[in-house]
Structure 1
Amino acid sequence: MKKLFASFYAISLLLAVACSPNTPTSNPKPSSGDGLDRTVLPIKEPTYEAVTELDARNTNPPPRFEVKAPEKAPNVVIVLIDDQGFGTSSSFGGPVNEPTADRLARQGLRYNRFHTTALCSPSRTAILTGRNHHQNNAGAIMELATGFQGNTGIRPNSIAPLAEMLRLNGYSTAMFGKYHETPPWEASLSGPFDRWPTRSGFDKFYGFIGGETNQWAPAVYDGTVRVEVERSPDYHFTTDMTTQAINWVSAQQALTPDKPFYIYFATGATHAPHHAPKEYIDKYKGKFDQGWDKLREETLAKQIEMGVVPPGTKLTERPAEIPSWDSQTPEQKKLFARQMEVFAGFAEHTDYEVGRLVSALEEIGELDNTLFLYVIGDNGSSAEGGPQGTYNEMMALNGIIGEASQMMNHIEEWGGPNTFPHFAIGWAHATNTPFQWTKQVASHFGGTRNGMVVHWPDGIKSKGEVRSQFTHVTDVAPTVLEAAGLPFPTSVNGTEQTPFAGTSFVYSFEDAKAPETHTTQYFEMFGNRGIYHEGWTASARHSIPWLMAELAPLEEDIWELYHVDEDFSQSNNLAESNPEKLKELQELFMKEAIRNHVLPIDDRRVERFNAQIAGRGDIMGDRTSLTLYEGMTGIMENVFINNKSKSYTILADIELKDAGANGVIICQAGRFGGWSLYMKNGRVHHDYNFFGLDHTNIAAPKPLNAGKHQIKYEFIADEELKPATGGKCILYIDGEKVAEGYIPKTQPFAYSGDEGVDIGTDNETNVTNDYKEGNNKFSGKINKVIVDIAPK
């Protein structure tokens, strides 16, 4: 009787869950086949009648309630490479050897009409949620968020990430690498942590929060805790994150082999800085001496031969703003060839690390039932390095164009720890072959079209084929849900959900000729805008990434028209011959722009690094004073008081045990730009490091005695609030002026993408060579440090 009762109870329980009166009848039917309503997440737990039996021995417990993924639901791995254009990888005819992508493509499918948003954070949020970037309030990178809807940097609760959907459906979830989705003013121990990975659906996170990191000395978080990585000449972040991913998935499968996993593996490579092991760089020595124009021709020929672009595809003309290879001097050609050798080595090394993850999945027997999406680029290759590249990419992000003369003495160490490099725009153009523009230029395919490989032996019979249906980053999440047999949840954590913007491309897995389902898609970034609709595109290129000149009004932009079903590369502008079609698409763009919160369009770049100008969140607000304490480290730039281009003072109360004190009192950023107040052999120093190019160092003339001291540093700006203003710097000890100097120029908009402010140490890279990395902790006691901004 007890067994009969238990069986009857279990059946009743399942029926009760399936027929819950709280389930809206309009929701789509669940496809998992287990009776659970998966359209409302989290899935409602069953209720039990009160037990009347006194003795547990005389009754049976009800069946255990546990949410499991649908039977045979695949594991999911999304690999996202950073800043790698369509014409880079050997899988799409490029010059960089990527055997892992090649192998997966031979056993799976290549998608040659897959599209991104043209920029990092926006593409990532679209992949992670299945909604358009402006719907996610990510109209640009998080650091450039504004006060307007569509650009606030705050992902709405009505947009639950794919990771959360899968986690609530019984998946284990983990993320490794670059996130770049957390609003920068929320990137501190004060939180909130709602938009950190571990509160966005991921059980595990190991990686960096911002847009880029030093691959040799990264600023890494494990969950929400800043961790210091191994200090070794052999350390490289891509290797580290891969090892972490392998360790996690191996343990997860050992403990719960029946539980599927979702891994988002988002490398910092090949975003600048281009950092690669020497043995990978050496593989490409002499391979790019022909220059970027010839490389474009070679790549297109290979793409046509491989069938990854249609026969007859034309090479677009090089824009006038991009210099020809032949116009460069022999010295410049030597430098530029080296830049591309390093980039290629960086890309191949990244693919090797992806291969380690693939091999690990194979070894634990999970590769065949893993839907593996290898997205080769979150946008086109980057032209942010400028016409001649740069040895320090932070200069480019501050609007400073690099010159070859600044870089020649760095050629041999290019790509190593003493450089923070980016290549010249000609290489970005070449690695986006056959298209005409680059990252940030959302109007054209060079910015928005990337190669993608899909591999799933248990779910896809077709092998080694090309798919040419229009697909987009917003299609990834719907595809994963369909492959897993899961419905779209209309409510997640109590909030009604915004529908997916994308459509699943599962339909294309076995049918190369199936009609595409994603037929309309807008694009916009910094005023560069376009629209795709049923085989046509309209494009308006408004701004150029490396040119900080004043822009013409948006209304004066010239629109182009392409019939891309017949013109793969957008080489034949039909605007004059078909004005009616162009007008139709322009009107469609405006409708989509209004519907997706694209308006008003904001074409500013570097100015938006300043929260006050941009109008976004700022935890400092109107504060002009900030008190810090020993042990506070890794304070990100956007949660520190903004002292750039302003007069300010630093006041430090310290106690010394002896007269030979050493170490950092307070510093910001590191080797490639920043400042540090420190002691060496008992003497107080302040070093201002201008992009690693120039140092201004002032120091007290004699050591301090043991005991309490007050150290004051003062910067008096020449022209208050003028970007990059110079100014006088003065050092005081116990109220007495002991040194002064003059800083010719200061960094105008940003110090670093990931290195923050440290009290009592200088983590990651060192601001000055007066002390060593990993060995600069202050030997005295720091009671407090006060940073005051002078009144305007």
Structure 2
Amino acid sequence: MADERLTSLPVPDRPYQGPLAVDVRDLDEPLPPIPVKRPPKQAPNVLLILLDDVGFGASSAFGGPVHTPTAARLADGGLKYSRFHTTSLCAPTRAALLSGRNHHSVAMGHITETATAAPGYTSARPNSATPLAEILRQNGYNTAQFGKCHEVPTWESGPTGPFDRWPVNSGFEKFYGFVGGETNQWSPALIDGTTAIEPPDDPDYHLMPDLADKAIAYVRQQKSLTPDKPFFVYFAPGATHTPHHVPEDWIPKYRGKFDQGWDALREATFARQKELGVVAADATLTPRPAEIPAWDDLDPSWKPILARQMEVYAAYLEYADHHTGRVIDALDELGVLDDTLVMYIIGDNGASAEGGMHGAYMVTNAANGGAEFETPEFWSEHLDEVGGPHAYNHYAVGWAHAMCTPYQWTKQVASHYGGTRNGTIVHWPARVPDGGQVRHQWHHVIDFAPTILDLAGIAEPHTVNGVTQVPMQGKSFAASLTDQDAPEVRHTQYFELAGNRGIYHKGWTAVTKHRVPWDLFAHGTDFDSDKWELYDTTKDWTQAHDVAAEHPDKLAALQQLFLIEAVRHNVLPMDDRAAERMNPDIAGRPTLFQGTTLRLYPGMTRIGENVALNIKNKSFDVTAEIDIPDGGAEGVIVCQGGRTGGWVLMADHGRLAFHYNYCGLLRSTTTAPDPLPSGTHQVRAEFAYDGGGIGKGGKVTLYLDGARLAEGRVERTHPLYFSFDEGLDVGRDTGMPVYEDYTAPHGAFTATINWAQVDLGDDDHSHLVDPAEHFAAALRHQ
């Protein structure tokens, strides 16, 4: 009953008001038992699954070419939702999903790395929008998150917090995963709670099975110790975001399956989608954009390379679905699957087109000016490494578009369904026994939180921790679970991301594409000059037939409605800027570290580039005081980055050395002629930047106690970033190695480091960085 639900959280503890006695044995009645918090008896276990960067046309459950047996199994016993929508980008979708509110309403109008001071874009979720997990926790659920969290503001993402917006302070009692847009699947930047941990030193380690193992262990323990208490598990692996990493033995299954190219693949997928009924029988396959080349027009030397990219991606998606299935199997073995509400969202946005026209072997190359090295000859030489630990790969734009079949465009394009429509499955046999059906009601990611509360019999609270809450903007779609003809509950929904925008209203969509994701420099144009399109989706399922010219009044009305919704939800001012958003001072967001000197101590590792000193495009010094035992020293003193690029000051075979790794392509090592002597010493590497632009080389000079030991050259440096998941380390090289020839695992230093320090020179050339390039680099990793 509604009046029994908790609308003000937390519920105040009520003091005992009954009779008292000096001696407990003299009480006339027993003291009441200590209450145990539990939700209503109808409340189910909830498993919310969210994959990453999977387009509508990828999974076999929705007609795609990738075998996803777990999705198919859940769909056969549950419901497919064919018209479910996301925001077109990672962090905004996740913020909306977990809050039940539009992404601008919870300040996530874009990604955390581009936050501004505008209310809809700060990336700092307001305390008036308490997340779903916290509401469930305060109503007696056990809560846990496994996988990716990209909702922590960058200035709060370091090891010193604050941790207010981390999962463990956002309603999740358990968090195991990573914080950020992506991570290396072979060597992830793992967080347990708020503590950084290292993955096991296992050559076969991969993050996907690890996340499944941790989720399985959690539900087993939870059901063993508190079987009467429901769980809410949010399983959000980073798969299938770049890097597309998958064990080699999963790839042969797809060998040759994509040799026909992306155009033929779209046609075949579209035919299967009609057979499955996940698109209308009279739907039209939208044309390939002119910006994407036809497969038949490609240089033949590229075709086997591009085919391999897609083979790896397909294997990666099936691998992710397989390990998700292990979690489902564990629930089945525990006997709780039938009464677990499983919601499987196949992608937080459309497929990613951020790999460029030819894809990327090492995504850092494109962002740091090294794409020129990835020639067909280079790819052919390294083709067998794609998907493995030596690559950081992403497929080409043509595949991304094909994975969004039958819709236009891809991830980041919030205006069109290719960026926003994701296949979704709901499985709950105890309450929805008639599985295998398709639902066509129109829904949005903000509808999940109110639906879960509705089904659990839990009220949306009006006050949490004394703060009046902004009402959830989502609508419960619970009625559609048991009624295929349930009326639409969502009649209006706006979309906006970096100027790509649109509005859905009662079957019509008015949309305008401001820029495409693979042309990350087309910004700054007047929003008023954008061309709007109009689609009657009651007749045109795929937005294939623009009828703006036939219905100018309808278009004008919807454009006006977009502005009304934009004002209501903090979309304005719209922001497609690059320079201002990438400069924290201009954008108005804080930075964790400020200054030109960073003092470091042993044990400080995985300090991300967002929260560390930026040494790129300038001179810098690295100094350390070390105690060297008799017999010498070996290993890392200070390093930054990993296999995708970085630098390290180290002892190499006993001698002081400085190694620079440019994108895994160009390497240089400057080494002292003699071993380091025993005793306490100061060692230093000075890097004198050449200047004259960004990404230039420089001179390296090594010193011992102020005496010059050696000089060397670095011919090319990273202008923008080394890695989005590696970090700055003292005493060891966590993650993938900057230097490939350490003599000990992770280059663990064999002597004592008392302190280390990084100092910047006064010749900063970062002002010469093209802001659009910087903006593009950030977007490639979301």
Structure 2 partner of 1:536: 508
Per-residue deviation, residues 269-299 of structure 1 (Å, max 9, x unmatched):
0001001112211110110000001000000
Shift of 1:122: 0.7
Structure 2 partner of 1:413: 385
Residues 368 and 457 of structure 1 are in contact (CA less than 8 Å); yes or no, is this contact kept in structure 2?
yes
**Identity over aligned pairs, percent:** 51
Structure 2 partner of 1:9: none
Residues 358 and 396 of structure 2 are in contact (CA less than 8 Å); yes or no, is this contact kept in structure 1?
yes
1:770 to 723, 741, 760: 741
**Separation (CA, whole Å) in 1 of partners of 2:579 and 2:226:** 48
1:695 to 655, 667, 675: 667
1:206 to 151, 171, 176: 176
Indicate how the Cα distance of structure 1 residues 675 and 733 shifts in structure 2: closer, same or farther if over 3 A, else same.
Answer: same
Per-residue deviation, residues 624-663 of structure 1 (Å, max 9, x unmatched):
1111111111112111112222322212111211353111
For 1:738, the aligned partner's letter is: L
* 1:457 counterpart = 2:422: no
Structure 2 partner of 1:298: 268
Structure 2 partner of 1:728: 699
* 1:785 counterpart = 2:756: yes
Shift of 1:719: 3.6
Indicate how the Cα distance of structure 1 residues 766 and 647 shifts in structure 2: closer, same or farther if over 3 A, else same.
Answer: same
* 1:630 counterpart = 2:606: no
Q: Matched residue of 2:212: which SS? A: helix
Indicate how the Cα distance of structure 1 residues 658 and 583 shifts in structure 2: closer, same or farther if over 3 A, else same.
Answer: farther
Residues 670 and 713 of structure 2 are in contact (CA less than 8 Å); yes or no, is this contact kept in structure 1?
no
**Separation (CA, whole Å) in 2 of partners of 1:401 and 1:371:** 45
For 1:584, the aligned partner's letter is: A
Shift of 1:376: 0.1
What does 1:32-111 align with in structure 2 at a 5 Å threshold? 36-49=4-17, 52-59=20-27, 60-111=30-81
**Separation (CA, whole Å) in 2 of partners of 1:324 and 1:502:** 40
For 1:67, the aligned partner's letter is: K
Residues 528 and 542 of structure 1 are in contact (CA less than 8 Å); yes or no, is this contact kept in structure 2?
yes
Residues 669 and 752 of structure 1 are in contact (CA less than 8 Å); yes or no, is this contact kept in structure 2?
yes
Q: Please identify, of 311-320 and 295-304, the stretch whose mean Cα deviation from structure 2 is larger.
A: 311-320
Indicate how the Cα distance of structure 1 residues 697 and 73 shifts in structure 2: closer, same or farther if over 3 A, else same.
Answer: same
Shift of 1:63: 3.0
What does 1:211-360 align with in structure 2 at a 5 Å threshold? 211-360=181-330
Residues 737 and 746 of structure 2 are in contact (CA less than 8 Å); yes or no, is this contact kept in structure 1?
no
Residues 651 and 710 of structure 1 are in contact (CA less than 8 Å); yes or no, is this contact kept in structure 2?
yes
Per-residue deviation, residues 132-175 of structure 1 (Å, max 9, x unmatched):
11112111222222222211111111111100000000000000
Q: Please identify, of 213-222 and 370-379, the stretch whose mean Cα deviation from structure 2 is larger.
A: 213-222
2:452 to 480, 496, 499: 480
Shift of 1:400: 6.2
What does 1:529-608 align with in structure 2 at a 5 Å threshold? 529-551=501-523, 552-604=525-577, 608=581
**Separation (CA, whole Å) in 2 of partners of 1:123 and 1:757:** 30
Structure 1 partner of 2:590: 617
Indicate how the Cα distance of structure 1 residues 606 and 696 shifts in structure 2: closer, same or farther if over 3 A, else same.
Answer: farther
**Separation (CA, whole Å) in 1 of partners of 2:602 and 2:520:** 40
Residues 659 and 703 of structure 1 are in contact (CA less than 8 Å); yes or no, is this contact kept in structure 2?
no
**Separation (CA, whole Å) in 2 of partners of 1:358 and 1:237:** 18
What does 1:393-404 align with in structure 2 at a 5 Å threshold? 393-396=363-366, 401=371, 403-404=374-375
For 1:587, the aligned partner's letter is: Q
1:685 to 657, 664, 675: 657
Indicate how the Cα distance of structure 1 residues 773 and 505 shifts in structure 2: closer, same or farther if over 3 A, else same.
Answer: farther
Residues 36 and 43 of structure 1 are in contact (CA less than 8 Å); yes or no, is this contact kept in structure 2?
no
Structure 2 partner of 1:740: 711
Structure 1 partner of 2:723: 752
Q: Matched residue of 2:675: which SS? A: coil
Shift of 1:397: 5.0
Q: Matched residue of 2:163: which SS? A: coil
Indicate how the Cα distance of structure 1 residues 599 and 396 shifts in structure 2: closer, same or farther if over 3 A, else same.
Answer: farther
**Separation (CA, whole Å) in 2 of partners of 1:287 and 1:605:** 39
**Separation (CA, whole Å) in 2 of partners of 1:374 and 1:163:** 17
Per-residue deviation, residues 392-437 of structure 1 (Å, max 9, x unmatched):
1233455765744342222112101111100000000000000110
Residues 5 and 459 of structure 2 are in contact (CA less than 8 Å); yes or no, is this contact kept in structure 1?
no
Per-residue deviation, residues 78-108 of structure 1 (Å, max 9, x unmatched):
0000000000000000000001100111111
**Separation (CA, whole Å) in 1 of partners of 2:106 and 2:365:** 29
Indicate how the Cα distance of structure 1 residues 756 and 336 shifts in structure 2: closer, same or farther if over 3 A, else same.
Answer: same
Indicate how the Cα distance of structure 1 residues 424 and 724 shifts in structure 2: closer, same or farther if over 3 A, else same.
Answer: same
* TM-score, reference length from structure 2: 0.94
2:480 to 489, 508, 517: 508
For 1:631, the aligned partner's letter is: G
Q: Matched residue of 1:177: which SS? A: strand
Indicate how the Cα distance of structure 1 residues 538 and 743 shifts in structure 2: closer, same or farther if over 3 A, else same.
Answer: farther
Structure 2 partner of 1:438: 410
Q: Please identify, of 542-551 and 372-381, the stretch whose mean Cα deviation from structure 2 is larger.
A: 542-551
For 1:38, the aligned partner's letter is: L
Indicate how the Cα distance of structure 1 residues 690 and 612 shifts in structure 2: closer, same or farther if over 3 A, else same.
Answer: farther
Shift of 1:608: 4.1
Structure 2 partner of 1:11: none
For 2:379, the aligned partner's letter is: M
Residues 388 and 404 of structure 1 are in contact (CA less than 8 Å); yes or no, is this contact kept in structure 2?
no
For 1:664, the aligned partner's letter is: V
Unpaired stretches in structure 2, ≥5 consecutive residues: 764-782
Residues 435 and 446 of structure 1 are in contact (CA less than 8 Å); yes or no, is this contact kept in structure 2?
yes
For 1:760, the aligned partner's letter is: G
**Separation (CA, whole Å) in 1 of partners of 2:421 and 2:216:** 30
Q: Please identify, of 488-497 and 50-59, the stretch whose mean Cα deviation from structure 2 is larger.
A: 50-59
Shift of 1:775: 4.0
**Separation (CA, whole Å) in 2 of partners of 1:625 and 1:249:** 46
Indicate how the Cα distance of structure 1 residues 136 and 314 shifts in structure 2: closer, same or farther if over 3 A, else same.
Answer: same
**Separation (CA, whole Å) in 2 of partners of 1:396 and 1:48:** 66
Shift of 1:567: 1.0
Q: Please identify, of 604-613 and 440-449, the stretch whose mean Cα deviation from structure 2 is larger.
A: 604-613
Indicate how the Cα distance of structure 1 residues 289 and 606 shifts in structure 2: closer, same or farther if over 3 A, else same.
Answer: farther
Q: Matched residue of 1:700: which SS? A: strand
Indicate how the Cα distance of structure 1 residues 186 and 774 shifts in structure 2: closer, same or farther if over 3 A, else same.
Answer: farther
Indicate how the Cα distance of structure 1 residues 600 and 724 shifts in structure 2: closer, same or farther if over 3 A, else same.
Answer: farther
**Separation (CA, whole Å) in 1 of partners of 2:410 and 2:682:** 52
Shift of 1:746: 2.3
Structure 2 partner of 1:7: none
Q: Matched residue of 1:443: which SS? A: coil
Residues 690 and 745 of structure 1 are in contact (CA less than 8 Å); yes or no, is this contact kept in structure 2?
yes
Shift of 1:531: 1.2
**Separation (CA, whole Å) in 2 of partners of 1:727 and 1:574:** 58
1:674 to 646, 652, 655: 646
Residues 651 and 787 of structure 1 are in contact (CA less than 8 Å); yes or no, is this contact kept in structure 2?
yes
Q: Matched residue of 2:683: which SS? A: strand
RMSD, aligned α-carbons: 1.7
What does 1:365-376 align with in structure 2 at a 5 Å threshold? 365-376=335-346
